[in-house]
């Protein structure tokens, strides 16, 4: 079974918990970096942990959640081999995988419901990369 790494800041605690419960119930191994509190924390601390798991191959996919998802997305994308995508609609989650071979989904907790967060994460994990014409583009992403 694939390993999923998940993390969030204080804005994403409920969303992280819903996604964690969903994937563990389905039998996935989920590395949960928290946070578990609504006390203010620094999102890069959690984004780097998840991105390192994906970058090193410990986890196949990552899920990051913060208020807007911009901060965790920018942080994760500093890691080589990480392609983090900010997703606020189910179609965006699918396209991030199909066309960009994204390996971390970044979710904006303040703008999506818990049910949407679970749906988008599930879509992301279950959608395959199409390869083909998209592979050449993905090969040009890294610096």
Q: Of 123, 128, 114, 122, nearest to 23 (Cα)?
A: 122
Catalytic residue among 8, 66, 73, 87: 66
Nearest CA-CA partner of 106 in 98, 96, 127: 96
Residue 143 a catalytic site member: no
DSSP string, 54-90: HHHTS-SEEEEEESSSHHHHHHHTTSTT--EEE-SSH
Q: Which of the 8 DSSP states describes residue 80?
A: T
Backbone angles phi, psi at 126, to 5 degrees: -85, -10
Task: Give catalytic status of residue 87 as yes or no.
Answer: no
Peptide bond into 89 cis (omega under 30): no
Residues carrying an active site annotation: 66, 99
């Amino acid at each position: 079974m694939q390993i999923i790494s998940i993390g969030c800041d204080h804005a994403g605690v409920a969303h992280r918990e819903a996604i964690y419960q969903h994937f563990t119930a389905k039998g996935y191994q989920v590395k949960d970096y928290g946070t578990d509190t609504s006390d203010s924390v620094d999102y890069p601390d959690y984004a780097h942990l998840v991105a390192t798991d994906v970058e090193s191959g410990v986890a196949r996919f990552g899920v990051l959640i913060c208020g807007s998802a911009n901060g965790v997305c920018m942080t994760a994308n500093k890691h080589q081999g990480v392609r983090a995508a900010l997703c606020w609609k189910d179609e965006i989650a699918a396209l991030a995988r199909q066309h960009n071979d994204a390996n971390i989904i970044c979710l904006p907790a303040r703008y999506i419901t818990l049910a949407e967060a679970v749906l988008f994460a599930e879509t992301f994990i279950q959608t395959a990369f199409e390869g083909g014409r998209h592979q050449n583009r993905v090969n040009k992403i890294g610096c």
